[in-house]
Structure 1
């Protein structure tokens, strides 16, 4: 694939996701949940996220993680007073205990943990619009995850969750982009990617 502008790719990928039928989206979320049952170590901490809009997955996926892992942490997005994204803070996921946060996102209730809590996770699940076979991830463009992933355990698996069609040959990337170690797709499950770091 010839590199294109990230903004153009985002628009194209979001439009494609918007065209996915609800029954397909539900079936794919169920498949992702079944794969996660085999990805999580019972004594581990997992950093995950609450899928929003057309993102693959569901809150049920979080309950699968909660049943399998020792602890599940969810992100809390925050910015400076002039709207510059800051590294994510984290909060423990408790089933049915999410509260509305900024931008209409659901997040864990207080108390929140510092940004350094990501270092405790052996598995970090990351939202993505696409990921390529080298591990380059295309996110929404705000940079919350690139700022946050620098603090992870270097041995942690960093997994982009995408639809099968969103694992592609090549994405444009920049030096500050954090490479994914794996992709998780509904039909193919967990796929190891060559990590560029």
Structure 2
């Protein structure tokens, strides 16, 4: 997941609340045992692969997880094995996202900020709008689908390009759902969240 240096948060209570919540959630993630992270990643992949929205999708936008984020390595390979066209983000200088097709683990190369990115041809920032399913990273989600990201705004920009009605789903741990997420006008909600326990639809 892209972990860009945060863009300046607006001065005020909302910005301060977001920073404090991010710090709390990231601290909890760093404490997760790696064995648990791997087990949870497999459970998340299991839930997504049987979801009707994913089963009927031709193109899925996803991302390459890093560290103790809910893992996507097995998910990416299972999606391609199921015949899905998978597109992955490429972080641009202004923190916007370009996209490129995933052709397996060997098609990824190290990029800045500890990320792995696809080496295939760039498709353009609007390519995310062609996806039938958009799977995004996050740190928490509210009971109404308001997602808390890392603060760079990359995925809010991407989600703003996605047609209304598209299945947009954030990958989280169970204790990161139902959180009171501070929101601002530019924040884009998701239609679902998946955890090791299942899929929540908003």
1:47 aligned onto 2:61: yes
Structure 2 counterpart of 1:132, from 125, 132, 142:
142
Deviation, structure 1 residue 169: 3.9
Q: Does 1:151 align with 2:156?
A: no
- 1:36 has 2:17 as partner: no
Structure-2 residue corresponding to 1:73: 87
2:114 matched residue in structure 1: 104
CA distance in structure 1 between the aligned counterparts of 2:81 and 2:162, rounded to whole angstroms: 23
Cα displacement (A) at 1:138 = 0.6
Deviation at 1:68, TM superposition (A): 2.4
What SS is found at the alignment partner of 1:24?
helix
Partner of 2:6: none
CA distance in 2, matches of 1:98, 1:67: 17
Correspondence for 1:11 = 23
Change (3 A) 1:22 1:78: same
Matched, 1:191 2:200: yes
Q: Deviations over 1:123-150 (max 9, x none)?
A: 1001000011111111100000111111
Give the distance between the partners of 2:116 and 2:92, measured in 1 at CA: 13
Q: Write the distance in 2 (CA, Å) between the matches of 1:143 and 1:63.
A: 27
The Cα shift of 1:182 comes to: 0.2
User: How much does 1:85 deviate?
Assistant: 2.0
* Whole-Å separation in 1 of the counterparts to 2:63 and 2:49: 16
Q: Using the TM superposition, give the Cα deviation of residue 41 of structure 1 relative to its aligned residue in structure 2, in angstroms.
A: 2.5
Once residues 48 and 120 of structure 1 are traced to their aligned partners in structure 2, the CA distance between those partners, rounded to angstroms, is: 13
Measured in 2, the distance between the counterparts of 1:42 and 1:158 equals 14
* Aligned equivalent of 1:60, options 59, 74, 89: 74
Structure 1 residues 69 and 134 mapped into 2: Cα distance closer, same or farther (>3 Å)? farther
Structure 1 unaligned blocks of 5 or more: none
Aligned mates of 1:102, 1:66 — CA distance in 2 = 25
Partner SS, residue 50 of structure 2: coil
Whole-Å Cα distance in 2 between the matches of residues 74 and 126 of structure 1? 10
- Aligned-residue RMSD, C-alpha: 1.4
Tell me, yes or no, if the aligned pair for 1:128 and 1:138 is still in contact at 8 Å.
yes
- Aligned residue-pair number: 185
Conserved in 2, the CA contact under 8 Å of 1:46 and 1:122? yes
Cα distance in structure 2, aligned partners of 1:168 and 1:151: 25
Flag structure 2 segments of 5+ consecutive residues without an equivalent.
Answer: 1-13
Measure, in 2, the Cα distance between the counterparts of 1:15 and 1:100. 25
Displacement after TM superposition at 1:69 (Å): 4.4
The CA distance in 2 between the partners of 1:106 and 1:18, in whole Å, is: 20
